[in-house]
Structure formats: structure tokens, C-alpha cells
Amino acid sequence: VGIGTGEAFTGTYGINYGRIADNIPPPEIVVSLLKAVKIKNVKIYDSDHGVLRAFKGSGLELVVGLSNDYVKEVNSSEDRAMEWVKENVHSWLPDTHIRGIAVGNEVLGGADQDLEAALFGAIKNVYKALSRLKLTDLIKISSPHSQAVFANSYPPSNCTFKSSIFQYMKPILDFFSEIDSPFSLNIYPFIAYKGDPQHIDLNYALLQPNHGIDDPISNLHYDNMFDAEIDAAYAALEAAGYGKMEVEITETGWASGGDEDETGASPQNAQTYNYNLRKRLFKRKGTPRRPKIVIKAYIFALFNEDSKPGPGSERHYGLFKADGSISYDIGLSGVSSWHASSSFYALK
């Protein structure tokens, strides 16, 4: 894959910088790594001030998270929302390039109904704060969803929102239509494959050459699951009356290891998925259903996070190991020279 200037990266290929680990490098080192591999768009799951400080003056573009822990209190008070935005966004501008706020993460379709009910109010209050601070042109607001919000996604054009979730989703979609925010979705072909390896072609999930599938309703052909899952979201949005909304992918990745029953989790598959995905995103093209809308995606994740709960795979999504070396090669140039010159080892 040819690497262009740093500029060409803005907009299609980003990365999630999760930090649920006790052995990863400090944020200052992470910034130098991101610059070396020319990844400009970065998403974090909180608004940690150490991270915001490290990103200051770097030119990297950051999406910060208002985590699920804060959703209820920000929903209940406009003042609390303003306080949060001032403290974690406004006071860091313009030197730290905060360009988005993700309000909550995978709230809808989870187990907490009070949290689901609070999400829209939290989104609205954060937006009001941005508006009062005249930041709505600079900072986009979003709320990443898991695929648990959909009732069915096969074939893609058959996809609809779960009716139980739609009562919470509708006001958010109405509001996002007004303010021109995207529909943010986390998709994992790995998890779909792991759940049904008998019926899903591994090559289809890994964006490798394969026969693909034909959608009998739309007559569109899909040669990979990544595109099919995005178009399923477009179909659900269309069916609900939001045909103009753009889908952006806030997480996608493949585990390089996992528990014994986690079929498909391997360094080779993770390398293949991430390499092919990067190549696909750099083509700057759309999906069969939306050929003109260039796909943007944030890869999950920058590091293996050793303290994450759940199945083994959860701790093996990193493009990089904790020591800053690559987990597997996906063609990111600049790693080896960065590693050679890095002061990381001096810090250990």
C-alpha cells in the first residue's frame, strides 16, 4: 500500500486508543508512535487529561468519549453537561485538536434501561453546551452503537431496527438528522464468524477473494462482510425514514488470539483482516448500496489491553503490543525507524 502524505489520512482511517491495561506506554510515547505511522484520527473512550495534554500541539485529531458512567448525570442537568464540556473539551482548544464527542458507548441494546432512556437527553445537553460555546462547527457529536440495535441483518437489505430499541433510537436519529451527525456503528465480522463458522466463509469475513453473496432483495453483490454490515445499517436507516444519514464505523477489528473456543482468533487472520481493511479504506470508495459515500472507520485497537474483562479475544485486538512493537505487519511504514529512535525503552 503506497503511503501518501499525512493529509490523505484525514477522514478514512482512524484508530481507537483504549487504555484498559497496566503495561502500555505513556500518552507522550503513543503520540510519537501515531505520528510515525501517520495515523491522524484517534478516538479515546474518556477525556483523560493526561492524554489531552500529550496530544496538545501534535496536530492529531481526537474524538473524546463521555463515558456511560456520566450519561445519566449529564442527562439530568444542562449545567452538568456544560461543566463537562468546558472541563474536558473547551479548555483544551485550540491546541489539542478535539474534533468529536462520542456520548456513551453501545448504550442501546444493553441491559440498562435507565441508561438507554437517558442517552438522548445527554446527547442534547452536550450539544446545547457546544452550541452555547459556539463549537458546533468544529466538533461533531455522535453515539456509537453495537449491532445489537438491529433485529436482523441478513440479507443486508432486510435489516431493521429492533422495535424494543426504536423508542430510544428515534429521537436520537431525528436530532442527528437535524444537526447532520452520522450514525456511528461498531462492527466485527470476527464475532459473526466466531458465532457461525460452519455457514460463514472465512474469506468473506477477512475481505479475501471469495464468491461473495447476492442480496436477492436489492440485487446487489457483496464480496465481503464489512460492506454488507454497513449496508445493513443503511437499509435499517432507510426503512425507518433516515435515508440521508451517513454511517461511520467507530470500531472494527479482528482478534489475534483468544480462548480455545474462539474460532478464527489468530495472528494470521488479524493481520489479513487489518491489512485488507486498510487497503479497502484507502481506496476511498463507498459500499454497493451507497457507492458515493466514502467509508470512514476507526480500527480497534491500538494496543492489546491486558486488563479487559471478558473472553480472551478482548485482550488481543491491538495492532501493537504493550512494548510498542507491532503485533503483526499490516504495512504501516515508519514503525521500525520509530522503534529504533524511540525513547520508550529508556522509560521502561
Average pLDDT, the chain: 93
- Do you know the residue count of the chain? 348
Domain-located, residue 341: no
Would residue 246 show up in a list of annotated catalytic residues for this protein?
no
Would residue 7 show up in a list of annotated catalytic residues for this protein?
no
Hunting for cell 485497537 — which residue is that? 301
Q: What is the CATH number of the domain that holds 243?
A: 3.20.20.80
What is the per-residue pLDDT across 170-208, written as a single tens digit (0 to 9) for each? Answer: 999 999 999 999 999 999 999 999 999 999 999 999 999
Catalytic residue among 106, 229, 248, 314: 106
Instruction: Record the cell numbers describing residue 101, joined without a space.
Output: 464527542
Domain-located, residue 81: yes
Residue 165 domain boundaries: 6-336
Domain-located, residue 346: no
What single letter denotes the amino acid at residue 45?
A: Y
Q: In total, how many domains does the chain have?
A: 1
3-state secondary structure of 279: helix
Q: Which residues in the chain belong to E strands, given as ranges?
A: 13-16, 41-43, 61-66, 97-103, 140-142, 150-152, 160-161, 183-186, 213-215, 220-222, 247-252, 297-300
Domain-located, residue 288: yes
Q: Which residues pair with 98 in a beta bridge?
A: 62
**Dihedral of the alpha carbons of 284, 296, 336, 34, in degrees to the nearest 10:** 130
Domain-located, residue 94: yes
Q: What is the pLDDT at residue 338?
A: 79
Domain-located, residue 187: yes
0.85 exceeded by pTM: yes
Catalytic residue among 61, 229, 251, 262: 251
Burial 267-283 (b: 16+ CB within 10 A, else e): eebbbbbbbbbbebbbe
Please say if the pLDDT value at position 158 is more than 70.
yes
Where residue 168 falls (left for φ over 0; alpha for ψ -120 to 50; beta otherwise) is alpha
